[in-house]
A and B are shown apart, each in its own frame.
Chain A
Amino acid sequence: MEKKSVKRRKKDLTFMERIYIPEIIKGLSLTFKNMIRPKFTFEYPEEKFIPSGAYRGRPVLVEETNGDERCVACGLCSRVCPALAIEVQAAETEREKERYPEKFEINMLRCIFCGFCEDVCPEEAIVMSKDYELTFSNREEAIYGKDKLLVPVNQLQDRIDFLREYK
């Protein structure tokens, strides 16, 4: 039937269990063991947390080794952004890709770090980096232009490897 016999009532405790001394000693030894174990605390800002490749930090534009951005200003990221944070202005160029973004701005106050822009980009030109520390002093400073968004490709290799393997 039901397991009523498993539940022990107060008068079923043995004498040693009643004075609770073994339980107290067990509790004390558990706390003491925890005191000796090494701690996991990151002492920020001296030690920072480096996330893995799967982490979605702030969106950045990939900059090739010769200094050009990969972006062709197709406008897909701007269209798909749910928070309407991206603004792209295309212009003509003499390089092989023929289009380049004359003005590329992301409003970091609107960005929700969803990663849709990265998913939809056909050139793998915008990726979510590992950067999570953003501070601004006023609203104008929060609109990141191309100068703040361009990041060399070797720093973004972790994310690019993750994208190629899983997405």
Chain B
Amino acid sequence: MGIGEIILISLAKILLVISLLFLTVAYLTYFERKVSAWAQNRIGPNRVGFKGLLQPFADVLKLLLKEDIVPEKADRIVHLLAPMISLFVAFSTFAVIPFGPEVHLFGYDIPLVVADVNMGILFVLALTSLAVYGLTLAGWSSGSKYSLLGGIRSSAQMISYEISMGFSIGGVLLLSESLRPIAIVESQSGWMWNAIVQPIGFITFLVSAFAETNRLPFDLPEAEPELVGGFHTEYSSMKFAGFFLSEYANMIIAAALIVTLYLGGWQIPYIDLLGLPSGLVALLQIGAFVFKLVAVLFFFLWVRWSLPRFRYDQLMNLGWKVMFPLSLINIIWVALLIMIFGL
């Protein structure tokens, strides 16, 4: 493939992924309100457009037209920078997530990733570490003590759970022997999804994903009764929209990571036994990825309305004294499996 074709295909993929991601983030907010309403025996938004489907656009319009208030003691530049960092990290991470197998279109072999780097998972880990900056700077630059406390707690929480997340990923990497996301997905062939082979790692990664995205039951940094709004108290209109969208985009990233690393990515077990044409198989596998993503996102939303919130010391206790040893035990478990079964 010539350089022009590579650029063109990459641009097409980027456009597709970014537009779908924006749409998914917007509709995730709608979906969250609907699911939370159902869990509370009521119907969610159903007035704006058919069954309330235009609600995200109404929300965005409202946030656009609001007055942008910056507190007097705030550091204006950093105050402006923090939601940008959050948004940047949230959307760039999606560049390395594969959402389908290789397709053969117009004579080209196109892998369905925006950037097929062979250290994809390392890129993701690096970006999630950058995400801490967004929250910390937000909390600090607001010039209010509640925001500062919220920002500090949130950054401490994210840093603590990154460790168990990294070690859980280490367990996956032992089996797949590669940091490339497509290779990780392909190593989970048949029924040997990583969720079944390393259940402890799955649970620690799941819990760490909840903690990384500041999602209940770990959302003390933005809990309203405790800290008013935490790090995003002093933000209004589009900057708040930036944090709001980046939280949901982070959720989608975490769900996509869980699907890629532990639930077999786009694979449907034993689909090649059916002998379908390869175009249809590719479509079905993309559909399988989307289905698994939606299922994990539903689980995120479901847990939010079912579990009580962790107190901050319980949260740190869990992160350091329970999740970290468990993820180490997981690595030992995987190493034992490799030794015994010679995988």
Is B43 touching A34 in the complex (CB atoms < 8 A)? Answer: no
Q: How far is the CA of A53 from the CA of B35 in the complex (A)?
A: 37
Q: Is the CB of B305 within 8 A of A39?
A: no
| Across-interface contacts of A43 in B (CB, < 8 A) | 43, 46
What are the residues of chain A within 8 A of B305 when measuring CB–CB?
Answer: 31
Question: Nearest chain A CB to B312's CB is how many angstroms away?
Answer: 18
Q: Tell me how far the C-beta of B183 lies from the nearest C-beta in chain A, rounded to whole angstroms.
A: 32
Of A8-16, A22-30, A135-143, the one contacting chain B is A22-30
Q: Which chain B residues border A34 with CB–CB below 8 Å?
A: 38-41
Q: Which residues of A contact B69 (CB under 8 A)?
A: none
B174 interface residue, CB < 8 Å from A? no
Partner among B35, B46, B303 whose Cβ is within 8 Å of the Cβ of A35: B35
B 31-46 contacts with A by CB, 8 A: 35, 38-43, 46
CA gap between A30 and B302 in the complex, in Å: 11
Please report the total number of B residues contacting A with Cβ < 8 Å: 13
Q: Do A32 and B302 form a contact, CB below 8 Å, given A24-B307, A27-B307?
A: yes
A37 within 8 A of B: yes
Contact B42 A28 (CB under 8 A): no
State the majority secondary structure of interface residues on A.
helix
B306 within 8 A of partner (CB) = yes
Provide the residues of chain B in CB contact with A27, threshold 8 Å.
306-307
Residues of chain A from 99 to 158 with CB closer than 8 A to chain B in the complex: none
User: CA–CA, A43 to B306, complex, Å?
Assistant: 26
Complex alpha-carbon distance, A81 and B42, angstroms: 40
What residue in chain B is nearest A19 (Cβ atoms)?
A: B322
Which residues from 19 to 53 on chain B have a C-beta closer than 8 Å to any C-beta of chain A? 35, 38-43, 46
Q: Does A66 contact B (CB under 8 A)?
A: no
Chain A residues near B307 (CB, 8 Å)? 24, 27
A49 within 8 A of B: no
A32–B305 Cα distance when bound, in Å, is 10
- Cross-chain contact A39 with B43 (CB below 8 angstroms): yes
In the complex, whether A40 has a CB less than 8 A from a CB of chain B is yes
Complex-state Cα separation, A24 to B206, whole angstroms? 14
- Tell me which residues across on chain A come within 8 A of B38, comparing CB atoms: 34-35, 39
A5: interface (CB < 8 Å): no
Inter-subunit contact B302/A41 (CB<8 Å): no
How would residues 28 to 65 of chain A score, 1 for a CB under 8 Å from any chain B CB and 0 otherwise?
Answer: 10111011010111010000000000000000000000
A24 to B216, CA, bound (A): 13
| B39 & A31 in contact (Cβ 8 Å cutoff) | yes
CB–CB B42/A41 < 8 A:
yes
State A27–B307 Cα separation when bound (angstroms): 7
The smallest beta-carbon distance between A16 and chain B, in angstroms, is 14
- In Å, the complex CA distance between A32 and B303 comes to 10
What residues of chain A lie closer than 8 Å to B303, measured between beta carbons? 28
Q: How far is the CA of A127 from the CA of B305 in the complex (A)?
A: 47
Pair A41/B43 contact, Cβ less than 8 Å: yes
**CA separation between A34 and B43, bound complex, in Å?**
12
Which 8 residue pairs across A and B have the least CB separation, nearest first?
A35-B38, A31-B306, A27-B306, A31-B39, A28-B306, A41-B43, A41-B42, A35-B39
13 further A-B pairs in the complex, CB-CB below 8 A; given A34-B40, A35-B39? A24-B307, A30-B306, A31-B39, A31-B302, A31-B305, A31-B306, A32-B302, A35-B38, A37-B41, A39-B38, A39-B42, A41-B42, A43-B46
A-B contact pairs, 19 of them (CB 8 A): A27-B306, A27-B307, A28-B302, A28-B306, A30-B306, A31-B39, A31-B305, A31-B306, A32-B302, A34-B40, A34-B41, A35-B35, A35-B38, A39-B38, A39-B43, A40-B41, A41-B42, A41-B43, A43-B46
